[in-house]
Chains A and B, each alone.
Chain A
Amino acid sequence: MAAFSAPAKSGFVLPDVDRCRGCAICALACSLQHEGACSPQLARLYVQRSLLTEEPRLAMCLQCDWPSCYFACPVEAIIIDEKTGARVILQDSCTGCAICAKACAANTRGEIIRFNPASGKYFKCDLCLGRVEGPACVEACPWGALRYVSAVQR
């Protein structure tokens, strides 16, 4: 169990749903960045559109000031990234117990902390761990629907 004090704040990716056109490029860029393959199921963000109305829905980790996932993890597999402040699930340490997924208040549909059946582990947005160009999704969105908000700005 992590020491019970507030971790450093984090930047996060802020979606603008009014600009979103439902192309899913963000999700494909994310999974490509992290897994070397394109799959909405392996994206660290969630995008879905309704088949007939084509209304897109986005769900993204807000990298909470008081991250329930971080505190809930029984094996300290979640760390605070020094560069960005991102709350990161270390894949090597994760046991797949799902406690973080249940602890996250925004995760009722399993869209923020997601499960990878192939690895048996949970994964979440890690802000691309301080990638030089910034988060891959922000860079890739053609419509400017995603914006990186730094820890200072939040």
Chain B
Amino acid sequence: MALSGRDESEAEVEVHVDLYGSFREAAKTSRLSVKLPGVGTVRELLQRLAAGYGPSFQAALFQDDGELKHDAVLLLNQAVLTMRELDRALRTGDRVTLYQTISGG
């Protein structure tokens, strides 16, 4: 399934998104491709996903103050992303993974 709101003729990147846990539950899908305009950033990708999948998705990812939720893991390819990297530009073929951490109980 692809989400795209832009004119196909503009330069764009296409990234893969893998969703698990609450993200998958909110989106009702585990894999998707997203097309973003040429300078699409991680932040824009997340905004596009939250807009598409609603408040449950948003709530699983961000706290009220806009910081990443403590248990939300955001991977770009295999790298753990921090808030500072949300403005990193994506490239076609990048894989973004979202899931939640687990601890001992």
Q: Do chains A and B touch in the complex (CB under 8 A)?
A: no
Q: Which B residues are within 8 Å of any A CB, using their own CB?
A: none
Q: Which A residues are within 8 Å of any B CB, using their own CB?
A: none
